A and B are shown apart, each in its own frame.
Chain A
Amino acid sequence: MARIEVNHIRHSYLPNPQKDSDFALKEVHHTFEDGGAYALLGPSGCGKTTLLNIISGLLHPSHGQLLFNGHDVTRLSTQERNIAQVFQFPVIYDTMTVYDNLAFPLRNRRVPETDVDRKVRETLDMIDLASLAKKKARGLTADQKQKISLGRGLVRSDVNAILFDEPLTVIDPHMKWVLRSQLKQLHRRFGYTMVYVTHDQTEALTFADRVVVMYDGEIVQIGTPAELFERPRHTFVGYFIGSPGMNVLPVALEGKTAKLGAQRIELPGVPKADKGAVELGIRPEYVRLGREGMAVQVSKVEDVGRHKVVRANLEGKEIAAVIGEDDEVPAEAKVRFDPAGINIYADSWRVEMGA
């Protein structure tokens, strides 16, 4: 296991990158601690897979350094880095049996056959494929194949890190949950350094201790799931995490008050925003729907099972509010913002509020 330092890494797929927009990774500087479970979360094309491939050595960064336990590995090949990686779509060796597929990474490294057998059997039990060990891999279903891919990632115990690139995309929803909790258990048991790329917030939030949110080639926030939810550092994190995402409303500031059209909203403190476009962010969970506050026109109520999502119009802006499954929407609905859930953003970045 290793501590992975990503030292001011920039990467471009173009031969001569000039502008910032030529870079798939603008600048990433972060340390993945030894034994941590990290999720890299972000929309498609934000550079998360690029970062993962740079860590595993499938790509070499245009600029910057990569350190494993303090040793520079930037120019080392994938083999020399001793990394395990699981890809989005199942990669299996068609002509081999399930057993041989799992043994492959070990045999390539000339592990004695008795150890191979022990490790492979352990892994087969872990991924629940022991009954298929002697079967040819090509006859299996997509999720069984993906389990083999996962198994090949987990079979070597001496790896520096295990990287997952959206590994559960092809898996059925109920299996996803099972596999994710198995990975989590493995992490607790063996203390692997794990980096898990996904664009699914539920997956990221349930798997990882710390979530790294990426947007447009940059890391916008690193934090625990709770931090990302309560205090998004960037409006993108607000939109991206949570369902529905955070309400972001353009406001004008006046001391401890934010003005939204004709409405005045009391803030918990004085925001330290002296320039740029100011926005107020509030999660739907903190919007209280009732008979007092600011008047809204309710446009739609979506019942999503455990709660209802109310879509409404406040001063010409769309907002969402979450209410309980049994709550009713009043005839002349009004909303209040819970001060605990209010964040203020200047030019999309969160600003602190003073007393």
Chain B
Amino acid sequence: MEKTWNNKAWFLVLPVLVLVAFSAVIPLMTVVNYSVQDTFGNNVFFWAGTEWFEELLASDRFWEAMVRNLIFSFIILAIEVPLGIFIALNMPKKGWGVPVCLVLMALPLLIPWNVVGTIWQVFGRNDIGLLGYYINALGIDYNYVQDPIDAWVTVIIMDVWHWTSLVVLLCYAGLVSIPDAFYQAAKIDGASRWAVFRYIQLPKMQRVLLIAVLLRFMDSFMIYTEPFVVTGGGPGNSTTFLSIDLVKTALGQFDLGPAAAMSLVYFLIILLLSWVFYTVMTNYDAER
């Protein structure tokens, strides 16, 4: 059959192009527009060039928020990944315990983010909060409103509580896909518990773990709602992560130009990291 060569196929992709244009490209271009101009409202704009970008990259405030955010991401990954694996390994593989565990694990994931924040905000208060009150009653000085360390601990525990389940569920999915024959063979081969984990379970979980790390890293790097509700970025700036800082700049100070520049830099960082993860994952697949 003769192949038809024309451009009619473009009509078929047109709807999605329009959709993407309205949902992503046009808003992004607006941000680009703001990032290179200065405005005092009333739709009056002055050309600013790369001024906002230079200012941003030279500002301590931005780099401090970035470092804080990286430390935060690193800590929650270091806790949630091993903890998630540990819980997944100990979840029942069959019987009535399976649905019970799965539902319990899924619960934190079903709670809206600002509600999670509110729960912990109340939970940690030392006047009426169950946690805060009793920790202080035990003689430990805990006050997340005033002490930066306490604020960090609270935010991290909250994130662990909220998101470890995701790692657990992903790992669990990886674990249940391992055929029984592998465990049987390991018994025949006299493998220790550690060897079973190291040579059977971990390799089988590798793929889902990579996805878990990617998701948790991106999410924690963009974290906003929960710490904002609990600490509002304080005390001082101690829990001001990148997106909290961004919102402060854009909506608190109404510095639209610098905020737009910051958004773009933020966007590029996320894009870069996603690309790195994507490359690692596809290479890993190709190797298989």
Query: Could you tell me how many residues of chain A have their Cβ less than 8 Å away from some Cβ of chain B?
Result: 26
In Å, the complex CA distance between A264 and B177 comes to 61
Docked complex: A47-71 residues within 8 A CB-CB of B: 53, 56-58
A108 & B191 in contact (Cβ 8 Å cutoff): yes
Given A91-B181, A96-B199, check contact A84 B191 (CB 8 Å).
Answer: no
In Å, the complex CA distance between A77 and B192 comes to 13
A105 & B199 in contact (Cβ 8 Å cutoff): no
B3 within 8 A of A: no
A89 within 8 A of B: yes
B24 within 8 A of A: no
Cβ distance B179 to chain A, nearest Cβ, rounded Å: 7
Given A93-B200, A138-B288, check contact A79 B187 (CB 8 Å).
Answer: yes
In Å, the complex CA distance between A53 and B181 comes to 11
Report chain B residues within 8 Å CB of A108. Answer: 189-192, 195
B185 within 8 A of A: yes
Name the residue among B181, B185, B203 with the largest chain A CB count within 10 angstroms: B185
Report chain A residues within 8 Å CB of B195. Answer: 104, 108
Report chain A residues within 8 Å CB of B182. Answer: 91
Residue of chain A at shortest CB distance from B188: A85
B4 within 8 A of A: no
Report chain B residues within 8 Å CB of A83. Answer: 188
Residue of chain A at shortest CB distance from B191: A108
B23 within 8 A of A: no
Query: Could you tell me how many residues of chain B have their Cβ less than 8 Å away from some Cβ of chain A?
Result: 17
Contact of A87 among B184, B200, B204 (CB under 8 A): B184
Report chain A residues within 8 Å CB of B200. Answer: 93
A105 & B190 in contact (Cβ 8 Å cutoff): yes
Report chain A residues within 8 Å CB of B184. Answer: 53, 58, 78, 85, 87, 91
Contact of A89 among B179, B188, B192, B288 (CB under 8 A): B179
Residues of A within 8 A of B (CB): 53, 56-58, 77-79, 83-85, 87-89, 91, 93-96, 104-105, 108-109, 138, 149, 152-153
A sample of 8 more A-B contacts (CB under 8 A), given A58-B187, A89-B181, is A56-B188, A57-B187, A87-B184, A88-B181, A93-B200, A104-B195, A108-B191, A108-B192
Contact sample, A vs B, 21 pairs, CB 8 Å cutoff: A53-B184, A56-B188, A57-B187, A58-B187, A58-B188, A77-B187, A78-B184, A79-B190, A83-B188, A85-B184, A91-B179, A91-B182, A94-B203, A95-B199, A96-B199, A104-B189, A105-B188, A108-B189, A108-B195, A138-B288, A149-B185
